[in-house]
């Protein structure tokens, strides 16, 4: 018995119960991380035009928001700060009273069990909008490391549970690990954006975070899209430097890379379903061209099927509601 008509793969698809029983991949609310944008000020909750349903919050507005997130069963948030002042050195990123540091304290004070991840990067804080220090018009790798390490330490001091460097400088995981350990934060894990591509899909985020580079682009530090072997080298290097969790970003254009990383390494694997992926779905849904719920759950499922353990996604709150209804 080797084929049709004895073999019929449709047998296990006949009813909802059979399909559910033999489903190979499940998406769970525990897999989701919700991004939050934080601005200086009070009583601010402003919608981001490029990302419908996503808001910028002042720190005092975060407890209520995070209680809602926790109520939906979402275990973690990742914070991005938008400071009121930017400078050449991105000093708002590592100021003890910086906007993200304040946000971490506000969240941990209200919902201590919420896992708070902080994005470690300088682009939201630099006047030139690059992810590191600029010397003679070029982003200087080694000069950026110290500031990135300082940023991670100040976030840990504020109470961050996980630090997540997204700058793509070489050696930053090692520099951050060393600085965390020297300051007593041996137990703060690093989730490194290990394979982060220079993607056109980050555009809505840059509008949200006011982090568009003032000159040039990020191609001299973020990865070139056609490269997959290089992604494995990036992941290998970050693991060697002490990354606890590695990330591939963006998600949908990189499902092949997610699969390769999953098959090659044993580390927990995160992925970022980025702003442009979210905005495309929202725009089509608003036009009535797609069924948003089905599309979002299909996308999240495909990312899990590719091998990701956790997904950072702006769809997290809606997905949590849909998953609870099923
Ligand atoms: C900052 C950062 C970016 C994103 C996450 N961290 C933007 C960038 O690198 O330009 C993008 C996230 C998204 O598009 O949702 N380095
Ligand atoms: Zn950056």
Q: What is the pLDDT of residues 183-222, one digit of tens each?
A: 999 999 999 999 999 999 999 999 888 889 999 999 999 9
Computed from CA positions of residues 305, 306, 307, 312, in that sequence, does the dihedral angle turn out positive or negative? negative
Burial class (CB in 10 A: 0-12, 13-18, 19+), 300: buried
Residue 326 has pLDDT above 80, yes or no: no
131 in contact with ligand 1, CB cutoff 6 A:
yes
Q: How many Å apart are CA 42 and CA 60, to the nearest integer?
A: 6
Question: How confident is the model over 298-307, as pLDDT tens digits?
Answer: 999 999 999 9
Q: How far is CA 160 from the centre of its chain?
A: 15
Q: How far is the CA of 2 from the centre of ligand 1 (A)?
A: 50
Mutate to test the pocket of ligand 1, among 33, 81, 121 (most ligand atoms within 8 A of CB): 121
Which helix (H) or strand (E) segment holds residue 181: the answer is helix 172-182
Q: How far is CA 225 from the centre of its chain?
A: 18
Is residue 207 within 6 Å of ligand 1 at its C-beta?
no
CB 97 within 8 A of CB 85: no
Q: What is the pLDDT of residues 211-260, one digit of tens each?
A: 899 999 999 999 999 999 999 999 999 999 999 999 999 999 999 999 99
pLDDT band at 281, cuts 50/70/90? Answer: very high
Task: Note the pLDDT tens digit of each residue in 66-115.
Answer: 999 999 999 999 999 999 999 999 999 999 999 999 999 999 999 999 99
* Ligand 1 pocket check for 54: Cβ under 6 Å: no
Ligand 1 atom at shortest distance from the alpha carbon of 121: 16
Q: Are 176 and 120 contacting, i.e. CB atoms less than 8 angstroms apart?
A: yes
Q: Is 273 in the pocket of ligand 1 (CB under 6 A)?
A: no
pLDDT reading at 54 higher than 80:
yes
Residue 1 pLDDT greater than 70, yes or no: no
Going from the Cα of 249 to the center of ligand 2, the distance in angstroms, rounded, reads: 13
What per-residue confidence (pLDDT) applies to 120?
Answer: 98
Over the stretch 29-41, which tens digit does the pLDDT of each residue have? 999 999 999 999 9
Sign of CA dihedral 294, 296, 299, 303: negative
User: Which pTM was predicted?
Assistant: 0.97
Active site residues: 196, 249
Residue 277 to residue 311: CA distance in whole angstroms: 13
Of ligand 1's listed atoms, the one at least distance from the Cα of 166 is 16
Ligand sitting nearest the alpha carbon of 314: 1
Ligand 1 atom closest to residue 312's alpha carbon, by position in its atom list: 15
Its CATH architecture, for the domain 26-325, is Alpha-Beta Barrel (3.20)
β-bridge partners, 79: 36, 118
Phi and psi of 165, rounded to 5°? -70, 130
Rounded CA-CA distance 290/302 in Å is 17
> Pick from 56, 149, 63: which is nearest to 105 by CA?
63
250-252-254-257 Cα dihedral, nearest 10 degrees: 110
Q: What's the whole-number average pLDDT of the chain?
A: 97
144-155 average pLDDT score = 98
The token duo for 5 is: 């008509």
Using CA atoms, how far apart are residues 68 and 280, in angstroms rounded to an integer?
A: 25
């Amino acid at each position: 018995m080797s084929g049709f008509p004895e073999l019929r793969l449709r047998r296990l698809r006949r009813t909802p119960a059979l399909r559910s029983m033999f489903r190979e991949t499940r998406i769970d609310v525990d897999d989701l991380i919700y991004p939050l944008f934080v601005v200086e000020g009070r009583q601010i909750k402003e919608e981001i035009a490029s990302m419908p349903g996503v808001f910028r919050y002042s720190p005092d507005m975060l407890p209520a928001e995070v209680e809602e997130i926790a109520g939906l069963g979402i275990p973690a948030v990742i914070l991005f700060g938008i400071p009121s002042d930017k400078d050449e050195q991105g000093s708002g990123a590592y100021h003890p009273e910086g906007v993200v540091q304040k946000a971490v304290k506000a969240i941990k004070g209200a919902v201590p069990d919420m896992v708070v991840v902080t994005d470690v990067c300088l682009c939201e804080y630099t006047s030139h909008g690059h992810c590191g220090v600029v010397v003679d018009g070029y982003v200087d790798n080694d000069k950026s490391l110290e500031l990135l390490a300082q940023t991670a330490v100040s976030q840990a001091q504020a109470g961050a549970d996980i630090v997540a460097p997204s700058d793509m400088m070489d050696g930053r995981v090692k520099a951050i690990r060393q600085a965390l350990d020297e300051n007593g934060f041996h137990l703060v894990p690093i989730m490194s954006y290990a394979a982060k591509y220079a993607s056109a899909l980050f555009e809505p985020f840059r509008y949200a975070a006011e982090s568009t580079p003032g000159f040039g682009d990020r191609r001299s530090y973020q990865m070139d899209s056609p490269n997959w072997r290089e992604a494995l080298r990036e992941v290998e290097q970050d693991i060697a430097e002490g990354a606890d969790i590695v990330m591939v970003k963006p998600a949908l254009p990189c499902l092949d890379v997610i699969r390769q990383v999953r098959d090659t390494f044993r580390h927990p694997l995160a992925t970022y379903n980025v702003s442009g992926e979210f905005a495309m779905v929202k725009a089509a849904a608003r036009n009535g061209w797609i069924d948003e719920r089905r599309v979002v759950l299909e996308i999240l499922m495909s990312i899990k099927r590719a091998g990701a353990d956790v997904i950072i996604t702006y769809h997290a709150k809606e997905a949590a509601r849909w998953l609870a209804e099923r």
